[in-house]
Chain A
């Protein structure tokens, strides 16, 4: 009853094409945003921010990037970890070479570098399709990580082989480095992912998104209609890599503090792919839902046995985690290939009718 849209008529195409055409949605989203920006930093404790919310925001950004490439444009990629690494290492080099440059700009530049790298590795996509392309992206993943490992220039010749986020301020507030507080880092990550999500949403509901989906659904018919395949696919790789690059930079600068290539290995690629599948391929909301889910499972597994009074050794937890991830992937693909996002849509449909059954 509450969620009825009766009486809300659209008298222009503009209002019909709005992102949240239903008034109730707008209210809820408004409240959520207010909560995220104002309430959370005040209320949440260090653990929640550091272990849950900040990585959630960063992974959401990476999942968003991968979703654009794999969910909307249909190009399977197993190279997400490698692209995130490009973002992280570029941001490191840029901030160390230009100490006076704003760290926010450094992130964006790192994203640009990653976009260029993504373009290069996306070139094979014209001739190679489907999971052959996945193998090509594996080449990107392994090669890039090897490169960052071998060439000491990337770590500024650090003997430990790690890159460390230098302390930087924005408007005299410490944003990165050991002195940066969790709420500040949280808000920075939130700002980035909010802006990028908006951009992604605008892209997918317009010309660019439609060309991507056309290529994904029927690439030959798309070409005959006038879509230029190479251009469309390369754009997808570039934009997706941009997102993943910024996420990678954030991963080191706003979350880990310092990292080596291991932080970006093939498991990260799989993790982000799981987020996208479980959250929902081809859905902006899905990227967030999937990221939230994947971030929460280990937390859940750590804490629930504790609450129940059982002790679970770390190794066992890892094994169960793997089994849960794998099992859930299969479950979702069988039951709802469109992921949590579709489940969310379906429950909204039910909510429309509530309390009536149909």
Chain B
């Protein structure tokens, strides 16, 4: 019994303390993975904050963006042109989604909208595979996937670029929501569709704007993921991983998505590396969800989310 406690509580900590450089690398690896999650979660937050819809299809949108980009580049388009074309495609997708899915479901309960986006997820999965084929593709954006040493610790160029891009995105989004008129309108829409409509906010336009922006975030995320591990269909499962991120960070908080993602990323990696061997590995499959669950029990609105006040 004592041995068990020792193995679970003390052993891993000693391992961590014994090799700090390795620990640092694990943490950095976790941060990088977490950042990837954050990028996807950002798309969720954007849509949720602005239209009150929890877009389960965000993961598949990331995939779709990456697929389109790669597909165009494979057919000989230069990066810049392919990027522009992809943005146009994502914009068109946003338009279509607004028309076909969101408009008819205006002011339905959240759970209905959520389930509609699950349907959307499956539809786009099938459609993407239909159009672009199902084999893994390489995505080359001109940033080498190599590392250099900083203070005795390995840092990967690609991951660094992703980190910087994410930071820029977050800053832009924060400013957008807080400081601009459109940002305020978006927050109003997220709060109450009908009320927003009644004061003249053009709901449809707003939704197209928002979903296009989410599409943009999806492109960035798709590029980062695709460059790192190739464009393949497991990307759509990322949506599922983003859920614990959102729970930790709160559904409506941009900084929360980043912090949540980093915590999940680091937590997962550390759990897998130091505790994984004790139970046969693959803890990563469920660790994030259990962590989120534990969090929900203590703080149902997440780290940065708004307190849910029930009224009668």
Q: Do chains A and B touch in the complex (CB under 8 A)?
A: yes
Residues of A near any B CB (own CB < 8 A): 76, 124, 127-128, 130-132, 134-136, 138-139, 142-143, 145-146, 149-150, 220-221, 224, 266, 270, 273, 277, 315-316, 318-330, 333-334, 337
Residues of A within 8 A of B130 (CB): 316, 319-320, 323
Cα distance A145–B282 in the bound complex, in angstroms: 11
Per the CB 8 Å criterion, the residue count for chain B at the interface is 45
Residues in chain A near residue B310, CB distance under 8 A? 220
Best-buried of A145, A330, A334 by chain B (most CB within 10 Å) = A330
Measured in the bound complex, the distance between the Cα atoms of B296 and A138 in whole Å is: 13
Chain A residues whose CB sits within 8 angstroms of the CB of B11 once the complex forms: none
Contacts of B119 in A (CB 8 A): 325-330, 333
Residue of A nearest to B246 (CB): A135
Q: Which residue of B lies closest to A322 (CB)?
A: B126
Q: Which residues of B contact A327 (CB under 8 A)?
A: 119, 123
Q: Give the complex CA separation of A224 and B296 in angstroms.
A: 24
**Hey, which chain B residues are within 8 Å of A322, CB to CB?**
122-123, 125-126, 129
Chain B residue contacts of A76, Cβ below 8 A: 111
Asked whether, in the complex, the Cβ of B129 is within 8 Å of the Cβ of A149, the reply is no
Check: B68 CB closer than 8 A to any chain A CB.
no
Cβ-closest chain A residue relative to B114: A131
B123 touches A132 (CB 8 A): no
Some 27 contacts from A to B, beta carbons below 8 A apart, are A131-B110, A131-B114, A135-B296, A139-B290, A139-B292, A143-B290, A145-B285, A146-B285, A150-B279, A150-B281, A150-B282, A220-B310, A318-B129, A319-B127, A319-B130, A322-B123, A323-B126, A326-B118, A329-B115, A329-B118, A330-B101, A333-B112, A333-B116, A333-B119, A334-B104, A337-B108, A337-B112
* Contact partners of A138 in chain B: CB under 8 A: 240, 243, 289
Going nearest first, the 4 A-B pairs with the smallest beta carbon separation are A329-B119, A326-B123, A322-B126, A326-B122
Does B105 interact with chain A (Cβ within 8 Å)? Answer: yes
Determine the distance from Cα of A221 to Cα of B115 in the docked complex, in whole angstroms. 25
Given the contacts A131-B114, A326-B121, A329-B119, A136 and B240 also touching, CB distance less than 8 Å: no
CB-based contact B124/A326 at 8 Å: yes
Within 8 A of A (CB), among B268-312: 279-283, 285-286, 289-290, 292-293, 296-297, 300, 310, 312
Q: Which residue of A lies closest to B100 (CB)?
A: A330
The interface residues of chain A lying within 8 Å CB-to-CB of B100 are 330
B244 within 8 Å of A (CB atoms) = yes
Q: How far is the CA of A337 from the CA of B104 in the complex (A)?
A: 12
Which B residues between 217 and 275 are near A, CB-CB below 8 angstroms?
Answer: 240, 243-244, 247
Interface of B is mostly: helix
Fill in one digit per residue for B76-108: 1 if any A CB lies within 8 Å of its CB, else 0: 000000000000000000000000110011001
Q: A134-B114, A270-B118, A326-B123 are in contact. List 8 more A-B contacts (CB 8 A).
A: A76-B111, A128-B297, A143-B285, A150-B279, A273-B115, A277-B115, A323-B123, A330-B116
Q: How near does chain B come to A216, taking the closest CB pair, in angstroms?
A: 10
Determine chain A's interface SS by DSSP, over half rule: helix
Count how many pairs of residues, one from A and one from B, have CB atoms less than 8 Å apart in the complex: 127
Q: Which of B129, B281, B300 contacts A128 (CB 8 A)?
A: B300
Question: Which residue of the partner chain A has the closest CB to B126?
Answer: A322
| Chain B neighbourhood of A220, CB < 8 A | 310, 312
Alpha-carbon distance A343/B32, docked complex (angstroms): 50
In the complex, per-residue mask of B128-165: 1 if CB is within 8 Å of any chain A CB, else 0: 01100010000000000000000000000000000000
Q: Would you call B289 and A143 a contact (CB within 8 A)?
A: yes
Please state if A319 and B129 are interface contacts (CB–CB under 8 Å).
yes
Q: Which residue of A lies closest to B279 (CB)?
A: A150
B64 within 8 A of A: no
Instruction: Select from chain A the residue with minimum beta-carbon distance to B282.
Output: A146
Any A CB within 8 A of the CB of B39? no
**Min CB–CB distance A341 → chain B (angstroms):** 16
A334 contacts across to B, CB distance below 8 A: 101, 104-105, 116
CB distance from A188 to the nearest CB of B (A): 32
Residue B37 lies at the interface, judged by CB distance under 8 Å to chain A? no
Complex Cα gap A292–B240 (Å): 28
Query: Across the interface, do B282 and A149 meet the contact criterion of CB distance under 8 Å?
Result: yes
Query: In the assembled complex, which residues on chain A have CB atoms less than 8 Å from the CB atom of B112?
Result: 333, 337
Which A residue sits closest to B125, measured CB to CB? A322
Instruction: Find the B residue at minimum CB distance from A131.
Output: B114
Determine the chain B residues whose CB is within 8 A of the CB of A149 once the complex forms. Answer: 282
How far is A330 from B297 in the complex, measured between Cα atoms in Å? 32
Return chain A residues, CB-CB under 8 Å to B207: none
Specify which of A127, A315, A322 lies most central, judged by the most chain B CB atoms within 10 Å of its CB: A322
User: Nearest chain A CB to B135's CB is how many angstroms away?
Assistant: 11
